[in-house]
Amino acid sequence: MHEASHRIFQERPEILVPIFEILGIPLPEKAAVDVITPDTTENRPLERRVDSVLRIQPSDGDDFLLAIEAQGRREKEKESSWPYYIAYLRAKYDLPVLLLVVCWSRSTAKWATGPFTCGARGWTAQSTRPLVVGPDNVPVITEQRAVEENLAMASFSALTHSRGPEVMAILEPLARVVQGSDTKAVKYFGDLIEVCLGETPAGENWRELMGFVTYFPGRGTVRETAYLEGKAEGIAEGVAEGIAEERVVTILRILEQRHVPLPDDARERITTCTDLETLARWRDRAITVTDADALFAESPEPGE
């Protein structure tokens, strides 16, 4: 998550324009972007390194450096290292410097906005005000057309909201777009999301989505045609059973990780359910519910 949250700016700089729009800072559509060394180590045994540093050359002039930090939690030492990064880069390259902090936690994002000041006796000698993007200002992109128009931004949306209940609504259209293309550029985002989400509940959901869409990509394959014509009922049934089992495991794992009490009768109800829509609904609810009753709300569910 940490690596992906800043490297995406290096490898897909087209998301800089929408990100700067979120922050209310104008940036021309046409801008050259160069990756420069993030090393800010001096000639002494103290290593300092920014996550990513970009040199932005807008079409209207006024070049500047963008230092990017991916921040998963509050770290007190950043309040002194961030001002150092800015001062060092300003002195080394003789260019204005902006600091962008990418957060996937609302509390971390609130802290990261600062300002972080240095001074004494009522006088502020230096003030550092990072630009911050996080769950509160990065849009939740759920429309497939919007995903197709800017896959990089949609992927960034998934990373930023990966810890929230909105993530499933983002991942579903992303999976359809990634599975619907054979280009390396699109596959890059599929791999990025999988590696980034890892073993989190969102990562489990992503792998489940990708596995399911593989069977029914909507591209006229022999497997899909046979299924639609009723010639592969056995295969389809086996696939459905496998998906149901995976969704049951995902639901139980999410509830366990969130320490939600699960009585024996509730556990049995989950493990014996075979309806994919019901299991999908329970899986989405498992991310936010606090008890089993909320998980089974509006019961009985069709097809249980």
Asked whether residue 64 falls in the same domain as residue 114, the answer is yes
Residues 114 and 157 in one domain: no
Same domain, 112 and 151: no
**Judging by DSSP bridges, how do beta strands 64-71 and 123-128 pair with one another?**
unpaired
Q: Which position has the higher pLDDT, 260 or 64?
A: 64
Using alpha carbons, select from 14, 18, 49 the residue that is nearest to residue 33.
14
Q: Are 59 and 182 within one domain?
A: no
pLDDT the model gives residue 5: 81
Indicate if the alpha-carbon torsion angle 201, 204, 208, 214 is positive or negative: positive
Clarify whether residues 231 and 203 are in a common domain: yes
pLDDT at 97: 96
Distance CA 94, CA 73 (A): 31
Average pLDDT, the chain: 82
Specify if 44 maps to a domain: yes
Question: Domain boundary at 133, 152, 171, which?
Answer: 133
More confident residue, 302 or 270: 270
- Return the minimum-mean-pLDDT range out of 78-87, 101-110, 182-191, 202-211: 182-191
Check whether 286 has a pLDDT greater than 70: yes
What percent of the chain is predicted at pLDDT more than 90? 30
152 and 189 Cβ atoms separated by less than 8 Å: yes
Q: Tell me: do 118 and 185 sit in the same domain.
A: no
The tally of domains found in the chain comes to: 2
Mark whether 279 and 149 lie in a shared domain.
yes
Regarding whether 31 and 61 lie in a shared domain, the answer is yes
Domain ranges, residue 272: 144-295
Overall average pLDDT of the 268-281 stretch: 88
Q: Give the residue among 34, 17, 35 at the shortest CA–CA distance from 26.
A: 17
The answer to the question of residue 139 being in a domain is no
Selected residue with higher pLDDT from 41 and 114: 114
Mean pLDDT for 234-241 is 56
31-48: buried (b, 16+ CB within 10 Å) or exposed (e) per residue?
beeeeeebebeeeeeeee
304 in a structural domain:
no
Residue 214: predicted pLDDT: 41
2-45 tens-digit pLDDT: 778 888 888 888 888 888 888 888 888 777 887 776 766 554 54
> Do 94 and 177 reside in the same domain of the chain?
no
- What are the start-end ranges of the H helices in 55-179? 78-93, 106-112, 144-149, 151-160, 167-179
Q: What is the pLDDT of residues 61-99, one digit of tens each?
A: 889 999 999 999 999 999 999 999 999 999 999 999 999
CATH of residue 89 = 3.40.1350
Please tell me the number of Cα atoms within 13 Å of 48 on its side-chain side: 20
What is the share, in percent, of the chain residues with pLDDT greater than 70?
A: 84
Domain boundary among 133, 163, 184: 133
- Same structural domain, 280 and 164: yes
**Matching residue, tokens 């009985």:** 300
The answer to whether position 301 is within a domain reads no
Over 60: is that where the pLDDT of 249 sits?
A: yes
Range in 150-159, 187-196, 265-274 the model is least confident about: 187-196
My answer on whether 58 and 129 are in the same domain is yes
The answer as to whether 302 is a domain residue is no
Least confident of 178-187, 193-202, 211-220: 211-220
Question: Do residues 108 and 74 make contact, with C-beta atoms less than 8 angstroms apart?
Answer: yes
Question: How high is the pLDDT of residue 88?
Answer: 92
Assess if residue 12 is contained within a domain. yes
Residues 122 and 163 occupy one common structural domain: no
* Separation CA 99–CA 9 (nearest Å): 13
**Residue 49 tokens, joined:** 């390194």
More confident residue, 214 or 289: 289
Mean pLDDT of 117-136: 91
Q: What is the pLDDT of residue 109?
A: 95
Single out the residue in 133, 162, 197 at which a domain terminates. Answer: 133
Cα angle, residue 207 at apex, residues 275 and 144 outer, rounded to 5°: 85
